[in-house]
Amino acid sequence: MEEKPNYHMSSAEFRQWGYKTIDWIADYLENVEKLPVLSQVEPGDIRAKLPNSPPQQGESFAEIFKDIDEIIVPGLTNWQSPNFFAFFPTGISAPSILGELLSAGLGVQGMLWATSPACTELETHVLDWLVDMLELPLHFKSSETGGGVIQDSASSASLVALVAAREQTTADISKLVAYTSTQAHSSIEKGFKIAGISSENLRLIEVDGNYAICPDALQQCIEQDIAAGLTPFYLAATVGTTSSNAIDPLPELGAIAQKYNIWFHVDGAMSGTAALCPEYRWIHQGLELADSYCFNPHKWMLTNFDCTCFYVRDRSKLTQSLSIVPEYLKNQASESGAVIDYRDWQIPLGRRFRSLKLWFVIRHYGIEGLQHYVRKHIALAQEFAEWVKSDSRFELAVNPPLNLVCFRHKGGDRINQTIVNSLNSSGKIYLISTKLDQKVTLRMSIGQATTEKLNVQQAWELICQIADAN
């Protein structure tokens, strides 16, 4: 064989296979409803189809595409199916996909302002836009003391908030105590482990009948800890918990945080997006007391993962905690103090140009288009909740505040578990269960980009059929 001078794809080949990939995605999304929602493969099935050794010589893209169809697709759990009701939605949309594509094509690093000023400035700008779009407290704007940054996930956002909070304290790390609810996301506890604070020092405060944190119980616990010589330093509240979409009472919690000088972090991972609509902005009442906040456009705002918008009241507290400046990262722009270097706002050094996809989504849909989807999903969820209420075999676990309906068959854990397992193994829909008050509870999360009323109706019919048969 003749020696190859250059193994790159030519520009013409890139165009050809690029179009092909675009077409493949368009076809996939047009047909995803026909695929099983939960992948039906067994452990090891995918690997068994892959060659043991990597190729010595390059292969054609035609071969790669064949394997995508034959090997990869059967191993997908299809999050973009309109019949996906598990966990929380993971948003994608055409403009967002193209934003990711453009970011990949540019291949720039946004670790410092100087390493691509547009990457930093567009991010700051779009995150400022979102303060207005959600009517968030103004101190989260970059023109004030705060500012926003894109993190990969709410997990990382709560971790950097925790680290910033910890760095404000002078007490020994073993004396620091933090507070969240029994219903908070597992990432809060995981962040604790990573940040070196014993999970014994994380207090899981009891919740009320709606699974929202009890301010009185919090206050009592703080007083006890202080009396025991400990230092309360961090409180994480949730706007829309994972299990039941509970909304913690931010005004009361914020007042307590202020009284005891505790960093107040609010996690609005999925539900924060609802504040795009004025009628749902009550979920953020009290947010003006928060030191930090995040919500995930990658959940319910049609934007590809990863895109968590994280805001801080005082950006200097964040950068003081995370900035380390070796010689090779010094540059004139950074030293002038006139720019943001987002590497100091996050755990990794490198960063992709993630604001492109968010910018594309906001510009393509407009505020109006994004509000449309929030309203649509909430309306569908409320309608589903009515069906549950009107069926004597079922009950709501809580009244759904937004787009997540938690309900159960009154016949006990076993029948509820049977319903989940049957639904998921059918491949027709995917939903998951949780436990509320120790009882298996079904979660109907409605938020995929293409979910229509018919999909929700079919899901309910399927649930009723399984209930009938058991």
Query: Residue 56 and residue 36: Cα distance in Å, rounded?
Result: 35
Q: Strand order of the sheet with strand 432-436?
A: 394-396, 404-409, 439-445, 432-436
CA–centroid distance for 399 within its chain: 23
Find out whether 358 and 303 touch, Cβ atoms under 8 Å. Answer: yes
Helix runs in 271-354, H state only: 297-300, 315-322, 332-336
Interaction of residue 39 with a copy of itself, rule CB under 8 A:
yes
Closest CA relative to residue 225, chosen from 258, 208, 203, 199: 203
Beta carbon nearer to a copy of itself, 122 or 309: 122
Q: Please state the closest distance from residue 271 (CB atom) to a copy of itself, in A.
A: 15
Radius of gyration of the chain (CA): 24
Can you tell me which of 339, 402, 463, 466 binds a copy of itself, judged by CB under 8 A? 339
Residues 211-230 that bind a copy of itself (CB under 8 A): none
Interaction of residue 427 with a copy of itself, rule CB under 8 A:
no
Bridge pairing between strands 404-409 and 394-396: antiparallel
CA–centroid distance for 264 within its chain: 19
Q: Coil, helix or strand for 135? A: coil
Q: Please state the closest distance from residue 135 (CB atom) to a copy of itself, in A.
A: 13
Q: Coil, helix or strand for 445? A: strand
Helix runs in 177-313, H state only: 186-194, 215-227, 250-260, 297-300
Q: Please state the closest distance from residue 146 (CB atom) to a copy of itself, in A.
A: 16
Can you tell me which of 83, 124, 201, 271 binds a copy of itself, judged by CB under 8 A? 124
Residues 8-37 that bind a copy of itself (CB under 8 A): 8-9, 11, 13-15, 17-19, 21-26, 28-30
Q: Please state the closest distance from residue 390 (CB atom) to a copy of itself, in A.
A: 26
Interaction of residue 379 with a copy of itself, rule CB under 8 A:
no
Q: Please state the closest distance from residue 285 (CB atom) to a copy of itself, in A.
A: 23
Interaction of residue 278 with a copy of itself, rule CB under 8 A:
no
Find out whether 225 and 219 touch, Cβ atoms under 8 Å. Answer: no
Can you tell me which of 41, 171, 214, 462 binds a copy of itself, judged by CB under 8 A? 41
Secondary structure letter of residue 231 according to DSSP: E
Bridge pairing between strands 439-445 and 432-436: antiparallel
Residues 343-372 that bind a copy of itself (CB under 8 A): 347-350, 352, 356, 359-360, 362-369, 372
Q: Please state the closest distance from residue 353 (CB atom) to a copy of itself, in A.
A: 9
Beta carbon nearer to a copy of itself, 20 or 389: 20
Beta carbon nearer to a copy of itself, 8 or 228: 8
Query: Residue 170 and residue 173: Cα distance in Å, rounded?
Result: 9
Interaction of residue 113 with a copy of itself, rule CB under 8 A:
yes
Counting residues that bind a copy of itself (by CB under 8 A) gives 153
Closest CA relative to residue 75, chosen from 108, 47, 115: 47
Q: Please state the closest distance from residue 357 (CB atom) to a copy of itself, in A.
A: 8
Residues 285-324 that bind a copy of itself (CB under 8 A): 298, 304-306, 321-322, 324
Residue-wise burial string across 405-439, b where 16 or more C-beta atoms lie within 10 A, e elsewhere:
bbbbbeeeeebbebbbebbbebbbbbbebbebeee
Residues 82-111 that bind a copy of itself (CB under 8 A): 87, 90-98, 100-109
Residues 143-202 that bind a copy of itself (CB under 8 A): 152-153, 155-156, 159, 163, 166-167, 172-174, 185-187, 189-190, 193-197
Bridge pairing between strands 263-267 and 432-436: unpaired
Q: Please state the closest distance from residue 457 (CB atom) to a copy of itself, in A.
A: 18
Binding mask 47-86 for a copy of itself (x = CB under 8 A): x--x--xxxxxxx-x-xx---x--xxxxxxxxxx------
Q: Which two tokens stand for residue 402?
A: 């937004």
Q: Please state the closest distance from residue 429 (CB atom) to a copy of itself, in A.
A: 15
Per this entry, what is the length of the chain?
A: 470
Beta carbon nearer to a copy of itself, 47 or 389: 47
Beta carbon nearer to a copy of itself, 155 or 289: 155
Q: Please state the closest distance from residue 286 (CB atom) to a copy of itself, in A.
A: 25
